[in-house]
Amino acid sequence: MTKIKKIILLPLMFIALLLIRTEAKSQTPFTWDSIGKSAPGLNGTVNDILYHEGVLYAAGNFTFAGGDLNARRIAFWDGYKWNALGTGISNGSVNSISFFRNELYAGGDFTDAGGNADADYLAKWNGVNWSPVGTGLDGGVNILKVYDDTLYVGGSFETAGGIGSRIARWTGSEWLQVMPNVINNGSVLDFDFAGASNLIYVAGSFFNAGGNSTLNNILYYNGQLNIFTAIGTNGMNGAVTGVARVGVSNLYLTGEFTNAGGSFMGNYAVRYNVTFNSFEYMNQGLQGAGWKIKKTNGSAIYFIGGFSLVTGVANTSKIARWDGNNWESVYSSTTDFINGAVNDIEFIDGNFDSQNFYFGGSFEKSGVNKGISKIGRRQNGEFKPIGDGLNDIVYALATNGNDVYVGGKFVSVNNDPTANYLMKWNNGVWSKLGTGIQTEMSNEEVRALTISDSILYVGGLFTNAGGNSNADRIAGWNGESWFALGSGIDNGSVRAIAVSGNKVYVGGTFTSVAGVPNTSRIAMWDGTSWNAVGGGLSSDVYAIAIQGNNVFVGGFFTNAGGNPDADRIARWDGTSWNALGTGLNGAVNSIAISGADVYIGGGFSNVNGNFFGRNIIKWDGSAFQILGTGLASQVNSVAVTGNTVFAGGQFGSGFPYISKFNGSSWVNMGTGANSTVMALSLAGSSLYAGGEFNRVDNKPSSRFARWFDAYTETPEASVIKTILEGSDFISFNLPGNVTGVRIKIDSGSGNGNVNVLKYNNSPVNVSGVSGNISQYRWIIEQSGFAATINGFVRFKISEINGNGINDPSGVAVYSRPTPGTGMFNALPTTYDAVNGELVVNVMGFSEFVFGSNDSPLPVELSGFTSLVERNNVTLIWKTEREINNSGFEIERRKSGNENSEFKKIGFAEGFGNTNEISEYKFSDKNLSSGKYIYRLKQIDYNGNFEYYELAGEIEIGVPGKFELSQNYPNPFNP
């Protein structure tokens, strides 16, 4: 799916109702914004996956998914984020999942599900709660399958509700036997059916079933005749973990065996001809064990496991496709690979023939995408993660206006497998810096970022940036291209950068720079060459900050240029190194400067030889000062604005990993983060945080988040004027500074000053507004008037950019006394049609918003077309504007059968809120012959949705172009 965004300087053709949202985000003026989204991947092995009605379920032994700590051992992906099912499975692991009669069943080695201690080894989820299945089982479950409206269960249990040994079936109300209890050892690992529920192949790790020495690890049971039949003469010489009956005569097996029926027939994979009762080679089999076989609608099947190769077939690690006669690779290039076992695959949208699938296992990366962990997807030949967030640690942040530069250990973000340690974030949009950091080693993480005069300096472990091989551990980005600083750093890594004029100070773990003497751990680039800074330092540097002519350096060193008192912190004055007191007893990780004050964070508890200032202190130029009682554990980053000091680190007690000092004490920032904070950076009223966390304020936000004051953001317009009582309406518009407001103060109110601030965002902490809320607001401040005033405010609709108002008579003005808190109250609102203004009578000024009970069309489509090329369909649609748009589900159904249901075949992420024209493309490839109908399901962030159907049907093989129609309210006739 390709998404294109472009700006066209034309007036909007279609205006819907009020530019609003149906539910405002509940927050205080200071709040966390979970811009990091849902973390990709899971933190433990995935044993089984299931795609059901547009939702992907994963089960295994992980303990959280996407930052949700309740997503224990089982979770689901709704297309946007990972979600828990209650409180998950409390212990053990989940080995298999299946839907049966609209409930999700989970089987495994656990003894508690969602806090229900009676749910031993098998439990079911009804959408609200976990509960046991009947009277439960007495041993583990390995496999669940539904056949002929019955749930079949296999495992190591001896009884299920008093029935069966290793295999049983559940009708929904009672346990029944599948076959006589002949498997009295080992475990059942898989089974498949031969056209009827009482004709079943059973695979596992058992031997001598029923005393029959030929029934080893695989057997066939004919329930019609009550006969057990061996597969081959002696079964298999190792466990059979997967079995699949395909067509009339083919039975496929995989597992840990190397001998079939007493003879060598290839390793770990074999075909058994049911008609002739004989084993057949599959090109010498696999090089390593297989775990599972996945069937398709045809003769093709997929073998899945821990094998490194199909013998004789290149690039067939972990997943391989057998087309009925030959092996095929699922990888697009020789550089694609999966570095750990695959335990299951599930075809995307149930399309068995598309070769698009989800896959889960114990791997850490797939193909060129090292951001795939434990679960991923293969779509249109590419391997991608599931989850939009950063896949690994953020070590460094730097801000420049709305641009936030993010560096670290991550290699994937927003489903981009080439993020490679460094990306730029701007109001929700991620972008690369040219070709970025090159991946020439296994770990080329970015550890330091600094901006000076619009130049971004980047330091870390990398050896190439933008193709420049001289950009060794240090590089610069000028907004268009990468450049090296000489020949770079010789060894180690760069951990800190600070700039003063043309001098770039660099610190880290290196011991040499460009062969210049005395450049251990610190050096200075003057724009032309590298220079020593004094005599260097005795050990690693982690922080550098500049105050006038003073360069403050922190780290793990105990000697700076020969000064033995410079323990972990030192000052370079341009000529010599100076100690700060007698130093600290632990590492300094961060330094921040505000005026004459130097704030120092790290892992120390002793200052000047005395217990003092745990992990964070202030140097006032002559002495150290404590900040409250300090923080309980290591501080990794410090940021300062005015009298407020922010600290992030490893202190989880009291102030979870991030806190702020208000001048007298340390206070919480919401509920903080759920793991270590490594980096902080201030930009206006926003504080950006990066680290190892995947949740902030109990909301998913993978490794990256923003703390901001919604009411100190820069207004779109701000005008101050003096108003005399009794005068006519005063306009609060100036050239290039339009608020759209006119105000009049009646006699008896006195004279005063009024400041009108227009913001282009929604209010926070909203209550009291009926219906929908405008995504713009005003704060009107007053001074000098009498305690009680009587006045009028007029809001001119045509002067409100992107107002979205079609029917002004349905809009009311709301206000509340204190911006950011309290309840909004509706004001009697009159629409002056002559002047195009909403008019309200006020007794005072504060915060104002618009509300409407009308429902907006959140997205305005200006076209929905398709192109057909052979067996491929490309859908193309454009939006004139978007409000609260989460994205589009793409749905398809077969034509000619009105009872056939639309099925989700993909998802295109929306642009949220935009007045720009946006274009989307989605390709539906390798379709079978036939006629198809397509539609879009547009979904907003609140779950509301709208359908748009492609006019006409598409016939594969007949080129055509089709236009937009809509099943529901017409967006072109609001």
Q: Which of 807, 811, 805 is nearest to 848 (CA)?
A: 811
pLDDT reading at 551 higher than 80: yes
- pLDDT recorded at residue 364: 81
- Asked if the domains at 717-852 and 858-965 fall in one CATH topology, the answer is no
Instruction: Name, in order, each residue with C-beta under 8 angstroms of 447's C-beta and a sequence gap of 6 or more.
Output: 395, 396, 407, 408, 459, 460, 461, 493, 494, 495, 508
Residue 69: what pLDDT?
A: 75
CATH entry, 717-852, from 2.60.120, 3.30.70, 2.60.220, 3.30.200? 2.60.220
**Does the pLDDT at position 956 exceed 60?**
yes
Secondary element (H or E) of residue 806: none
* CA trace torsion 654, 660, 666, 669 (10° rounding): -40
Going by pLDDT thresholds of 50, 70 and 90, the confidence category of residue 2 is very low
**What's the mean pLDDT in 831-846?**
93
- Least confident span in 1-15, 17-31, 801-815, 820-834: 1-15
**According to the model, what pLDDT value does residue 167 have?**
96
Identify the pLDDT of residue 509: 98
Confidence of residue 718 (pLDDT cuts 50, 70, 90): confident
Greater pLDDT, 828 or 896 = 828
Q: pLDDT tens digits, residue range 140-159?
A: 999 999 999 999 999 999 99
Dihedral of CA atoms 606, 612, 614, 616 in degrees, nearest 10, equals -100
For the entire predicted model, the pTM comes to: 0.68
514 three-state secondary structure: coil
Q: What is the pLDDT at residue 941?
A: 63
CATH of segment(s) 858-965:
2.60.40.10
Q: Which of 682, 916, 324, 306 is nearest to 316 (CA)?
A: 306
- Is residue 925 over pLDDT 60? yes
Q: How far apart are CA 282 and CA 266, in angstroms?
A: 7
**Statement: residue 485 has pLDDT above 90:** yes
* Under 8 Å between Cβ of 108 and 141: yes
Q: What is the pLDDT of residue 6?
A: 26
Rounded to an integer, what distance in angstroms lies between the CA atom of residue 300 and that of residue 308? Answer: 20
CA dist., res. 817 & res. 825, Å (int):
9
pLDDT > 70? residue 745: yes
| Alpha carbon distance 226, 180 (integer Å) | 9
Q: How confident is the model at residue 379 (pLDDT cuts 50, 70, 90)?
A: confident
Question: Counting Cβ atoms within 10 Å, is residue 970 exposed (0-12), middle (13-18) or buried (19+)?
Answer: exposed
Domain limits of the chain?
87-385, 405-415+428-709, 717-852, 858-965
Q: What's the pLDDT at 761?
A: 75
pLDDT at 484 over 70: yes
Average pLDDT over residues 482-494: 97
pLDDT at 24: 32
Better-predicted residue by pLDDT, 333 or 944: 333
Calculate mean pLDDT across residues 415-425. Answer: 87
The contacts found for 573-582 with CB under 8 angstroms, 24 or more apart, are 573/549, 574/549, 576/534, 577/534, 577/535, 580/619, 580/624, 581/607, 581/608, 581/623, 581/624, 582/608, 582/609
Q: Which CATH superfamily is domain 87-385 in?
A: YVTN repeat-like/Quinoprotein amine dehydrogenase (2.130.10.10)
Which among 501, 493, 468, 492 has a CA at the least distance from the CA of 482? 468
Q: How confident is the model at residue 698 (pLDDT cuts 50, 70, 90)?
A: confident
Q: How far apart are CA 463 and CA 484, in angstroms?
A: 10
Q: Are strands 695-696 and 686-691 parallel, antiparallel or unpaired?
A: unpaired
pLDDT tens, position by position, 839-890: 999 988 889 999 886 545 567 777 888 888 878 888 999 887 777 777 899 9
Q: What is the pLDDT of residue 159?
A: 94
Q: Which of 359-368, 416-425, 948-957 has the highest mean pLDDT?
A: 416-425
Q: Report, as an integer, the average pLDDT of 223-234.
A: 90
- Provide the pLDDT confidence category of residue 22 given band limits of 50, 70 and 90: very low
The CA distance from 373 to 383, in Å, is: 12
Instruction: Give the pLDDT score at 755.
Output: 87
Burial of 423 (0-12, 13-18, 19+ CB in 10 A): buried
List pLDDT tens digits, range 705-715: 999 865 556 78
Look at the domain 405-415+428-709 and name its fold: Methylamine Dehydrogenase; Chain H (2.130.10)
Q: How far apart are CA 126 and CA 85, in angstroms?
A: 10
- Length in residues, the chain: 974
What value does the mean pLDDT take over residues 188-217?
91
Average pLDDT over residues 801-818: 84
* Mean pLDDT of the residues in the chain: 87
Whether residue 471 has pLDDT greater than 80: yes
pLDDT surpassing 60 at residue 4: no
| Mean pLDDT within 761-780 | 78
Predicted pLDDT at 899: 66
User: Bridge partners of 397?
Assistant: 406
Is residue 635 predicted with pLDDT exceeding 80? yes
pLDDT score, position 621? 93
Q: With 90 as the cut, is the pLDDT of residue 208 above it?
A: no
pLDDT at 801: 79
Residue 17: pLDDT over 70: no
Low-confidence winner among 339-348, 555-564, 775-784, 964-973 (lowest mean pLDDT): 964-973
Give residue-wise pLDDT tens across range 522-544: 999 999 999 999 999 999 999 99
Residue 610 has a pLDDT of 77
| 375 in Cβ contact with 344 (< 8 Å) | no
Give the three-class secondary structure for 211: helix
Closest CA to 682 of 635, 637, 627: 637
Q: Which residue has the higher pLDDT, 386 or 957?
A: 386
- Give pLDDT, residue 765: 64
* Whether pLDDT at 964 is above 60: no
How far is the C-alpha of 212 from the C-alpha of 234, rounded, in Å?
A: 9
Region 635-643 average pLDDT: 93
